[in-house]
Structure 1
């Protein structure tokens, strides 16, 4: 009975991460779709901060240059070698204290230290070398150049011996800095930084996400296989038409959706026939995962295969099957059978060639309504009257009703909505069915893409008002009597 639970614990305890490039790409796209506004704000803020930083830290640089030609021996090779030595010695020379004192003559005190730089470039094999001087003030730059021009020949002779330096070219600094400030460039660099931050945020989101998005994610929960993956689709709206449900009997329902349901029914029927099982329970972890529509569509699929099917709405807190089928509200149902003594004939309704027992007029937890002895007798009568019975239940991670009703079922199909419950929440909800050995498999619901030609599922959330309940307050409403019907798939 506990074999699967033990195997799961041993095999998936470490929750090892498998790097699937295609899966990671899908996760990044999903993050972008879900959090695009937040990421856009982050990108804008980082870009603005980058522009502000570059604007504050910007220092203009004005550059002047002088080119010397070495004439000492008349030998081109020797003069080129001397030019190279003089060029390489410029950084060292400009760092000598005595040279600096001569250089900074007539320069404003605040502009002397740390605000000028010298560099030199030598043309290989040539007796020419160029000295560049840069400061943050173009007037001081030109003064530095003039002072350098006066004192450098003497210092050069002291360094390499008597040498004659001819000025081949000279260019003073103008009023335009050599590094003009560029707002587009600052914005571009800020945007690159913003994109990097967004990528880091998205990566953290992707790697920390614990929801189910593909079949391999469920390996952390159960060794049972996926029965089917239902695509995320919706019906196109028609003007002045009543709201339609995603039922396979509706001709306007997407082909991929219909095929996924029919495929699931075929696999379930084959497995249940093989094991001589007749009663199927459908549950999920949280509200709005699609268990009610899944249960109803499976019943309709069984009917299309000429099976005599009954659907029982076991979600006595928040019944939904009747509303999905468009049945009369307030009709007697399961709760009336146990609490008001209604007859079996009074609570069974027929729609689309399937029989239905709705939740009834009394809303409460199953343990307060159902009586074991009477429920056993009822199920015995129903099993003898139908080929298959499908029971819809409340979310199993929120209430114990599903686990209690599973006592009357032979098999359980678990609905998992794509990217909604975490694997931890699924483990809590699915555990009673694993322990009982009745779990047949699971269905991944509302997966984007797939066979769908429309792309999104319809918005049926107005029927669901589960909002808060214990540690799942974000999912369930504690005011059970005012709950509406959940029909979101």
Structure 2
């Protein structure tokens, strides 16, 4: 991961990063607020020969060697238990060990014993008792069997201190550590989420997963929920749909008429809205367009267009209405054929000869026929229909569809011998940065042409595919 991609990851996941830092800072502040203050007390013991330091070289060497041992014995369990007994404390030697520390001041013969406790008085009492226990321990261990003077003695060099100022928690230090740890976790979490994320985030992701061209990237438009048919108004989404309309013409240059199936790998990718707005955009360009709702399991096109769905595809197939009677006209110029009554076996209905003949009929009546089909992976309906159309348009939703789902959908189209015109990356954020792509929100057709397919590069495969389809017929 280079620097640009790293910055792109942070920019794309800034909400996660900011949330992590805020929560970490709040947790740090809460810890400081709830943490009980700790008070400190220090006592210093000077270990020397009985003569007060006027020792020969051998005695001085003994002091240097043994003072470390006594510093260690100051926190020994036996010593801690004697302190508890001396003061009558209601605690264990393990807990008391956590409150007491001892060390030798470098370059000296002084042992410093430090104590932390919940009150200044408790800290002072424990420090004083610990110092006395070490003095007694030195006297006991250094007393020779002969009864002569001891080799070493310990004396109080500085009595146990007392202070009303807490020594813990160290507010500036804890705050600094808490904030730095929060920032580290935010960055680490953002990078890990990026590395583990299998959803599609850019055109490059889609093209690698499918091996086919991305015909358009459609920006997210919150107004779609209020007004589903947005292709008739201005804005980035309407312009992106015009790009898609143009690129579909390049996808099959030999075709005077097109039958296009619009589907997705899984539900909730926005295929119905894209299919409906694409039909509206094509109608605005002067083409005669028929929109067929072929999703008998979950029909939604009628709701988007504000038309009726009671009479439609199934009604015509069973002979209860003619095609002319079932087709409705929308003010945008789009002709609409709904699903009609929901059959118990949609896949079997779509496989009938009557369905094939109906598609052949409407193909001769309209310049473009668009079928809103069910998702590819959950059911077989779209796989059945894709063999009866000129090509399929496959949608993927930014940040939702995974590479594996899209790859499986393309494989299903290829398995049944269908043709994939290309893919559409839907609901792309208005502004994406760094490793996630370029600016998708603006500029469609105005000075930049990232979504326009080169017709010279696409024309030869399109002609070959079209010729092959005619030969098969």
Taking the aligned partners of 1:23 and 1:302, their CA distance within structure 2 comes to 36
Look up the match of 1:384: 364
Contact 2:272 2:300 in 1 (8 A): yes
Taking the aligned partners of 2:338 and 2:264, their CA distance within structure 1 comes to 18
Look up the match of 2:218: 230
Taking the aligned partners of 1:43 and 1:103, their CA distance within structure 2 comes to 37
Post-superposition shift, 1:89? 4.5
Look up the match of 2:68: 91
Q: TM-score, normalised by structure 1?
A: 0.64
1:250 aligns with 2:227: no
Look up the match of 1:280: 260
Look up the match of 1:21: 6
Give 2:325's match in structure 1, choosing from 333, 346, 352: 346
Look up the match of 1:173: 161
Taking the aligned partners of 1:144 and 1:342, their CA distance within structure 2 comes to 101
Structure-2 change in CA distance of 1:179 and 1:258 (3 Å) = same
Taking the aligned partners of 1:393 and 1:43, their CA distance within structure 2 comes to 47
Give 1:337's match in structure 2, choosing from 311, 316, 330: 316
> Mapping of 1:169-318 within 5 angstroms?
170-174=158-162, 179-180=167-168, 206-218=194-206, 221-235=209-223, 243-251=226-234, 255-274=235-254, 278-318=258-298
CA RMSD between the two structures: 5.2
> Mapping of 1:42-53 within 5 angstroms?
none
Note the alpha carbon deviations across 1:102-121, whole angstroms, 9 max, x for none.
Answer: 99999845789785654222
Taking the aligned partners of 2:267 and 2:130, their CA distance within structure 1 comes to 77
SS at match of 1:212: coil
Post-superposition shift, 1:67? 6.8
Post-superposition shift, 1:271? 1.5
Note the alpha carbon deviations across 1:1-52, whole angstroms, 9 max, x for none.
Answer: xxxxxxxxxxxxxxxxxx953564366447679xx7xx89997998799789
1:421 aligns with 2:405: no
- Residue correspondences, number: 408
Look up the match of 1:445: 426
Taking the aligned partners of 1:429 and 1:107, their CA distance within structure 2 comes to 73
SS at match of 1:407: helix
Greater alpha carbon shift after TM alignment, 392-401 vs 423-432 = 423-432
Structure-2 change in CA distance of 1:320 and 1:119 (3 Å) = closer
Greater alpha carbon shift after TM alignment, 204-213 vs 384-393 = 204-213
Post-superposition shift, 1:339? 1.7
Taking the aligned partners of 1:403 and 1:96, their CA distance within structure 2 comes to 80
1:407 aligns with 2:390: no
Post-superposition shift, 1:396? 2.0
Structure-2 change in CA distance of 1:91 and 1:357 (3 Å) = same
SS at match of 1:235: helix
SS at match of 2:253: helix
> Mapping of 1:26-37 within 5 angstroms?
28-29=13-14
Taking the aligned partners of 1:145 and 1:223, their CA distance within structure 2 comes to 78
1:138 aligns with 2:119: no
Structure 2 unaligned regions, length at least 5: 117-122, 432-439, 443-473
Contact 2:231 2:280 in 1 (8 A): yes
Contact 1:331 1:347 in 2 (8 A): no
Taking the aligned partners of 2:192 and 2:166, their CA distance within structure 1 comes to 42
Look up the match of 2:466: none
1:120 aligns with 2:92: no
Contact 2:135 2:154 in 1 (8 A): no
SS at match of 2:210: coil
Structure-2 change in CA distance of 1:130 and 1:346 (3 Å) = same
Structure-2 change in CA distance of 1:87 and 1:384 (3 Å) = same
Note the alpha carbon deviations across 1:122-156, whole angstroms, 9 max, x for none.
Answer: 46xxxx66431235652242255467679979999
SS at match of 1:300: helix
Contact 2:101 2:114 in 1 (8 A): yes
Greater alpha carbon shift after TM alignment, 431-440 vs 271-280 = 271-280
Structure 1 unaligned regions, length at least 5: 1-18, 238-242, 454-489
Taking the aligned partners of 1:280 and 1:154, their CA distance within structure 2 comes to 99
Contact 2:102 2:111 in 1 (8 A): yes
Structure-2 change in CA distance of 1:347 and 1:117 (3 Å) = closer
Contact 1:310 1:355 in 2 (8 A): yes
Post-superposition shift, 1:415? 0.9
Contact 1:281 1:412 in 2 (8 A): yes
Post-superposition shift, 1:234? 1.3
Contact 2:215 2:244 in 1 (8 A): yes
